[in-house]
Copies of this chain bind each other. A is one copy, B any other.
Amino acid sequence: MSRRTVVVGGVAGGMSAATRLRRLDEQREIVVLERGEHVSFAACGLPYHVGGTIPERETLLLQTPEQLRERFALDVRTRHEVIEIDRERREIHVRDMRTDERYVERYDELVLATGASPVRPTLPGGERAHVLRDLDDLDQIMAALEGRPRTAVVVGGGFVGLELAENLFAAGLKVTLVEAGEHVLPPLDRELAVLVAEHLEAHGVTVRTGMTATSLGPDDVLLEGHRDGLHVEERVPGELVVLAVGVRPESGLARAAGLELDDRGGVLVDAQQRTSDPAIFAVGDAATKRDAVTGEPVLVPLAQTANRHGRLVADVIAGREVRSRPVLGTAVVGVLGLTAAAVGWSEERLRAAGRPVRAIHTHPLHHTGFYPGAQTIALKLLVDPRTDEILGAQGVGRDGVDKRIDVIATAMRAGLRASELADLELAYAPQYGAAKDPVVMLGMIADNLAAGLTETVQWHELDAELAAGATLVDVRGADEVAAEPLPGAMHLPLDELRARHTQIPAGRVVVSCAAGQRGHTAARLLRELGYEDVANLDGGFRTWSAGQRSLRPALVEVTAGG
């Protein structure tokens, strides 16, 4: 009797496992059971069919069961549901959803790639709300769009919520994006996320943060939240409502079989994707990963991780000695011409976990300023001040953001220290970057900080500095200061600092410029001139200003005390 591997779930992780296993072992029986109608569809492309960017639905169907049978001799059965795992006998109970016929399949190895399902909060009127996770969901949204709704509410301001907002906007709807947290894009810090929210608002998408959708009317949604300690309510128009408030692992089958789960319901696996039963593996959104910062189990529902771990499971089953790596959670989203990307942990998450953190903000141009079309990127690096380890990075801008985050993600995977980013040799020509690339600049600043050559103050620490008596010195030019004054600062332009520094009172000094670079020169100069307690406002006015704007929740147009 030949060995037999059964894969439950035929999209990213499951199908990667099945096809890789076939390439490694022609003799094995490989059965793929998929509850849905389709295998291997482009889940990440679904929002773009809503907006019309991907005009043909068929484009989203990557491979059919027939193609997989022909090429990989896979026994793919769609609309087949696994209803029970009998670990003792190594059997699964399957239901053919088309005929309701039930049968039993033997396995030598079982791979659970059951994915995740969208979280659906229970809301009055919520039955009319859509989600977007598979092609059935997509078809329902497309059918709803046939009714020509004029307004939409997207509940959830994460990556998928932003993609939905962009695409419903592109489909011609007036869109409101609602995020219960304090800012959109929770993996980013607020002073970067605010740039995305402002971009959406500038295009006419209404953004509500710190507000929760609490009930759905026939064509609107009631939002509730707090402003200045007062309960506020707002009704926003939403003939179409889509929920994008996250996913939860589809681990009911694993739970019923007594496999170990984490407290969020993820199937716990080791570095070979093995569950607590050595004959059962789990990959993809249903399985836990190991977090790169802490090593702890974590849920990271991303397609690339599912694919990677699917391949790895096949290797393990075929007898290769391989181990998965901890995950960084690198992610990117495009929204109305803006790109936001992140890797690792945010400052907010690090501080909440009590981890020491050094933040570095820069606002470089995505390519040299002398070549036309240069766009500013907001870049942030998070560093462990004890070890110079890179803990995370974030970027928001029009162009070149994904490249910089990919470079940092590669550095993190390889264990480069933050200061070592200064030594990267990245491809430079005027239209691609800079002789000192933005990532190299981050590394130089990290080096200066690690070496004690400079000290920085974060935007959210400035008030406390001023309260403690620090003197704030704005070293920008007079025209910049006039256009965008920094409250509480005395003005001493950098180029006059050598001559006029004696005007600065004794004691702690914080210098500030537009984006941090002139401030660094000023801080170094003052130190060299004998000032012993000098710090530079990290990221300068730009970061400080974005931070301030991020603290002002969007105005609520219709409010009512409650």
Contact = CB atoms under 8 A, between A and B. Distances in A.
Contact of A425 (B25, B42, B343, B403): B343
A409 B423 contact: no
Interface in A393-446: 402-403, 405-407, 409-411, 413-416, 420, 422-433, 435-437, 440, 444
A304 B426 contact: yes
A429 B495 contact: no
Given A71-B494, A410-B407, A424-B409, A435 B44 contact: yes
Contact of A436 (B42, B307, B424, B440): B307
Contacts of A12: 435
Interface residues of A, number: 88
B329 A425 contact: yes
A44 B333 contact: no
Interface stretch (A54-62, A141-149, A200-208): A54-62
A244 to B, nearest CB: 14
Contacts of A79: none
Contact of A332 (B341, B406, B414, B429): B429
Interface in A332-350: 332-334, 339, 341, 343
Contacts of A372: 53-54
B410 A411 contact: yes
Count chain B CB atoms within 10 A of each CB in A67, A327, A429 and give the residue with the most: A429
Nearest to A414: B414
A413 B413 contact: no
Contacts of A429: 44, 159, 163, 331-334
Contact of A368 (B44, B307, B495): B44
A122 B247 CA distance: 70
25 contacts: A23-B520, A25-B528, A42-B430, A45-B430, A48-B371, A54-B372, A70-B495, A303-B428, A304-B435, A304-B436, A306-B435, A327-B425, A333-B429, A334-B429, A339-B432, A403-B406, A406-B427, A409-B425, A409-B427, A410-B410, A410-B411, A410-B414, A410-B416, A413-B425, A414-B420
Given A60-B370, A302-B428, A414-B414, 13 more contacts: A24-B453, A27-B528, A53-B372, A303-B435, A329-B425, A331-B429, A343-B425, A406-B407, A406-B426, A406-B427, A409-B425, A410-B424, A413-B424
The 10 nearest A-B residue pairs measured at CB: A414-B414, A26-B528, A332-B427, A303-B435, A403-B403, A70-B495, A23-B524, A410-B410, A330-B425, A406-B426
Interface of A: 12, 23-27, 42, 44-45, 48, 53-54, 59-60, 62, 67, 70-73, 159, 163, 302-308, 311, 320, 325, 327-334, 339, 341, 343, 368, 370-372, 402-403, 405-407, 409-411, 413-416, 420, 422-433, 435-437, 440, 444, 451, 453, 494-495, 498, 520-521, 524-525, 528-529
